[in-house]
């Protein structure tokens, strides 16, 4: 079973993921992880809200919900009579923002480590989510990635995911309260993450 080509629509949930090219790593040092999140805020926040994420050494996972067409037009300061600027469609605008994210990070990374060539595989993957139960399972899947790949024994031990943000009072750009409401609060959130049980199609479709 493979991933079909997904056209990104307004006001829609997606599981977005990408992988390093070949045997490369996307992140070599702690500062790389935080720099990537800064780039994510710059390029993706104008077009989507973020609900969960996990940055692994050679791949990334995010759960997002694209913003409305009106919000995207306003955030990117396009004219009302040309709501998506020179790009023409919502899909092209969002795709360009992701392209800018990966390109900007890769350029800085290459300069820092005196490296050349592409860093990410071409064409990031995205899967539309329209089922509430599946939505919760994807959150679990994302946070379980460090456990699944043997980096940690529990999701809360990995410092480069959104897991801990659901248990502190610091300001966050995540849609924290909405996620907690889906799962019934912090205690239920923690209990839900104590199992790595996931729908079969998550593992089949996303072998990262």
Lowest pLDDT segment from 9-13, 18-22, 101-105, 168-172: 168-172
* Number of domains the chain contains: 1
CATH number of the domain bearing residue 183: 3.30.70.1290
Residue 87 lies in a domain: yes
Q: Tell me the average pLDDT across 23-37.
A: 97
> Could you report the per-residue pLDDT of 108-158, keeping only the tens digit for each?
999 999 999 999 998 899 999 999 989 999 999 999 999 989 999 999 999
Residue 4 lies in a domain: no
Q: Tell me the average pLDDT across 159-169.
A: 95
CA distance 113 to 50: 29
> Could you report the per-residue pLDDT of 37-85, keeping only the tens digit for each?
999 999 999 999 999 999 999 999 999 999 999 999 999 999 988 989 9
CA distance 173 to 159: 17
Domain span including residue 122 = 13-205
Residue 53 lies in a domain: yes
Lowest pLDDT segment from 7-16, 43-52, 170-179, 196-205: 196-205
How big is the CA angle at 37 (ends 141 and 123), to the nearest 5 degrees?
65
CA distance 82 to 63: 29
Lowest pLDDT segment from 78-82, 95-99, 150-154, 182-186: 78-82
Q: Residue 138: what pLDDT?
A: 94
Sorting pLDDT into bands at 50, 70 and 90, what band is 208? low
Q: Residue 206: what pLDDT?
A: 47
Q: Percentage of the chain with pLDDT > 70? A: 91
Residue 8 lies in a domain: no
Residue 29 lies in a domain: yes
Residue 1 lies in a domain: no
């Amino acid at each position: 079973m493979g991933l079909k080509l997904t056209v990104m629509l307004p006001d829609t949930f997606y599981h977005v993921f990408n992988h390093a090219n070949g045997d490369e790593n996307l992140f070599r040092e702690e500062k790389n992880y935080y720099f990537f999140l800064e780039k994510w805020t710059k390029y993706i926040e104008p077009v989507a809200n973020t609900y969960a994420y996990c940055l692994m050494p050679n791949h990334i996972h995010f759960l997002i919900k694209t913003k409305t067409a009106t919000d995207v037009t306003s955030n990117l300061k396009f004219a009302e009579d040309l709501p998506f600027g020179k790009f023409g469609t919502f899909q092209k605008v969002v795709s360009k923002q992701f392209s800018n994210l990966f390109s900007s990070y890769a350029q800085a990374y290459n300069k820092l480590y005196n490296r050349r060539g592409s860093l990410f595989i071409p064409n990031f993957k995205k899967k539309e989510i329209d089922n509430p139960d599946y939505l919760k399972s994807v959150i679990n899947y994302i946070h379980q990635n460090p456990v699944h790949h043997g980096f940690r024994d529990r999701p809360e031990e990995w410092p480069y995911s959104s897991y801990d943000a659901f248990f502190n009072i610091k300001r966050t750009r995540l849609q924290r309260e909405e996620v907690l409401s889906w799962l019934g609060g912090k205690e239920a959130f923690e209990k839900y993450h104590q199992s790595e049980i996931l729908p079969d199609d998550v593992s089949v479709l996303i072998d990262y």
